[in-house]
Structure 1
C-alpha cells in the first residue's frame, strides 16, 4: 500500500492545531504526505515547516484555489513511481484510524473502481453528511443518506456519480487516464466535472460505510458567518461552464436559466426581508453565470477571495 495523501492550505492558522491532530490519526497508513500551500503569509509558511517537518511541502507563488493546488500535489505524487494511490484530504477532515487501509483494499479489489471515499459524518457525530452523491439536471450534487444515523446504513458500498472533493482516494491510473482537475474551475463544481469525466473514461465511483470520516467544519470567526460573495460568482460561472463542457445547448440553457431565475427569486425574498448583504451575493451569482455562458473563465475581482484582491492592488 503506497498512498500519497495531499492536503492544500492557505493561511489556515485558525485550524492548524486540529489539522495536526487529525493528521496523526492516519499518518502511519500513508507512504507520502504532500502539503500544497496556496501562497500564504510567510509566518504561516514557517509554521508549516515546523509542524509538518516530515511532509513534502509545495509552495505556490499564487493562489490556485482548490484545483490548481491539488493538481500541483497530484503531479508530484505521480512523479514518484512507488505511489499506487492518491488521497485528497482537507485539513478539516478527521479520518478514523484504519479507514485509509480499508479504502485502499476496497479500491484495488475492483478493476472498474477509479475513486472511492469513506462515509462522511457531521462534526463529532454519527449523522451522515455524505455517502456519495448523485448529480441533478442543474449539476447540483445530491448527497445520499444525508441526515441518517451511521448505524442505520445497511449498504456497505454505494456506487455514485460524484464524490466529495476534499476526501477521496484514487488509483494512480485514474489520474493518468482521466486527467487532473480542471484549473479553470478554481474551486466549486470540480467534483461534478471529475465525476462526469470518470464515467466517460469507464470508471465507477463509490463510497463505503466501513471507512469513516468526519467533516469538522472548522471555520473562521466572522460576524455574518457567511462566505464571501466571490463564492457565489464561482458557483454560477462554473455550473454553466461544466454544462457547456459536457452537454449540448439545451442543457446549457437549462442550467443558465436555473441559476439566473433562482438568484432573482432569492434577491426578491431577501429584499423583502431586508437581508441586503445576501442580495449582493446573488447578483454576483448571476454575473458568474453570464461569464460561464460567455466562456470567460479569466480571474477578476469577482472571482478571487477578498484578501487576494488586496494583494493584487
Structure 2
C-alpha cells in the first residue's frame, strides 16, 4: 500500500494549525496510508496539541530556528523520508481546511502517472477571507476561487492564479497541465523529489512553489491541476497578509530572482529593467528586495531594517 506523508509548517499560528488538523481528521484513505508531520518552525510558544487532535499518525517536530516556508517543509520532507519512506509527499498550508476526499482525489489522479508528477487541488478562499468579500452575494462566500491552476506571465514577471476572485460556476472544472502548483497544497510523487530536489531554501518564502514546478517541468514531469479535489484557504493567515513588509519583500525579491533564473534573454532584460525602475520609484522595502535579488543576497533577510 502506498504511503503519503502530509507536511504542515507551523509558525506562531497554533490555532490555525489546530483548525487544519481537525479537518484532516475526517479525510478518507481507503487505498493508501498516511501520516501528518507538523514542523514547528521555531514558534515563540512550543506547539502543543490537545488530546482530541493527538493520534499515532500525527507527529510534531521542532526546528530551533525559523527556516521559512521552504526550509520548514524541507525539514518535514527529510524527516518523512527517514521515518516513513513515503511514496508521496503532500505539502499543505496550515491555514487551510480540506474536503474529506481531497487526498483521495489527488492520489487517484496521479497514482498511475509515470514517471511521476505533482498536482494541486482547486482552492477556494475560506468564507470571509475573500479579497473583496463585500462585492459578493453572501450566499457565494466560500465559493470564490483562490486557485484553479497557475500561469506565469513572463513579460510582466508575475505568477498568478487562474480564476482568482471569480465565483465558481463550474467553468474551471477541467483537469489540466498548469505552469505551477501552489505550495498551499501539492501532492508530489517521490520520483519528482528524488530527481529535482526539494524546495529552494534560498527563496525562504514565496515563489518556491513556482521554482519547484519549473524544475520538475524541465525534467519532463507533469505539473497538474485537479479540480475534483477541494480545499479552502484562510489567505495569508500565517504570513502577515498581502501588503505587509514581509509579503512585499519576499514577493518582490523572488519574482526578480525567478525571472533571472528561468527567463529567456528578453525576460532577463525585463527583470533587470523592473529592478532598476523599482530602485528609482519603489518604497524602501521594495528597493531593498530588488537590490538583494540583483546581488544574490537570498535566504532569510532582515527586510524590516532599511
* Fold shared per TM-score above 0.5: yes
Q: What is the aligned partner in structure 2 of residue 193 from structure 1?
A: 211
Work out which of the residue numbers 146, 166, 169 in structure 2 matches 1:129.
Answer: 146
Q: 1:94 aligns with which of 90, 93, 97?
A: 97
Secondary structure (helix, strand or coil) at the match of 1:184 reads coil
Asked if structure 2 preserves the Cα contact closer than 8 Å seen for 1:236 and 1:286, the reply is: no
Is the 8 Å Cα contact of residues 118 and 208 (structure 1) preserved in structure 2?
A: yes
Q: Which residue, out of 189, 198, 223, partners 1:171? A: 189
Partner residue of 1:72 out of 72, 75, 80? 75
Question: 1:132, CA displacement in angstroms?
Answer: 1.2
Instruction: Give the whole-Å Cα distance in 2 for the aligned partners of 1:117 and 1:245.
Output: 24
Distance 1:67 1:17, change over 3 A: closer
CA distance in 2, matches of 1:216, 1:146: 14
In the other structure, the counterpart of 1:284 is 285
Q: Which has the higher helix share?
A: 1
Measured in 2, the distance between the counterparts of 1:237 and 1:296 equals 9
Separation in 2 of the partners of 1:110 and 1:298?
A: 34
More displaced stretch, 22-31 vs 290-299: 22-31
Structure 2 residue aligned with 1:105: 108
Q: Does 1:23 align with 2:24?
A: yes
In the other structure, the counterpart of 2:222 is: 204
Q: Would the aligned equivalents of 2:4 and 2:34 in 1 still touch at CA under 8 Å? A: yes
> Is 1:162 equivalent to 2:183 in the alignment?
no
- Is residue 2:232 matched to residue 1:229? no
Contact 2:28–2:100, Cα closer than 8 Å, also in 1: no
Give the aligned CA root-mean-square deviation in angstroms: 2.7
Give the distance between the partners of 1:260 and 1:8, measured in 2 at CA.
35
Q: Is the 8 A contact 1:239 1:289 kept in 2?
A: no
Q: Which runs of 5+ in 1 are unaligned?
A: 268-281, 307-313
Distance 1:214 1:91 in 2: 11
Specify the alignment match of 1:56 in structure 2. Answer: 59
CA contact (8 A) 1:8 1:90 kept: yes
Using the TM superposition, give the Cα deviation of residue 246 of structure 1 relative to its aligned residue in structure 2, in angstroms: 2.5
Query: Residue 226 and residue 151 in structure 1: after superposition, are their counterparts in 2 closer, same or farther (change >3 A)?
Result: closer
Distance 1:301 1:147, change over 3 A: closer
The yes-or-no answer on 1:33 pairing with 2:36 is: yes
Change in CA separation of 1:49 and 1:184 when aligned onto 2, cut-off 3 Å: farther
Rounded Cα–Cα distance in structure 2 between residues aligned with 1:85 and 1:206: 15
| More displaced stretch, 62-71 vs 128-137 | 128-137
Write the distance in 2 (CA, Å) between the matches of 1:82 and 1:74.
10
Gaps of 5+ in 2: 128-141
CA distance in 2, matches of 1:150, 1:195: 25
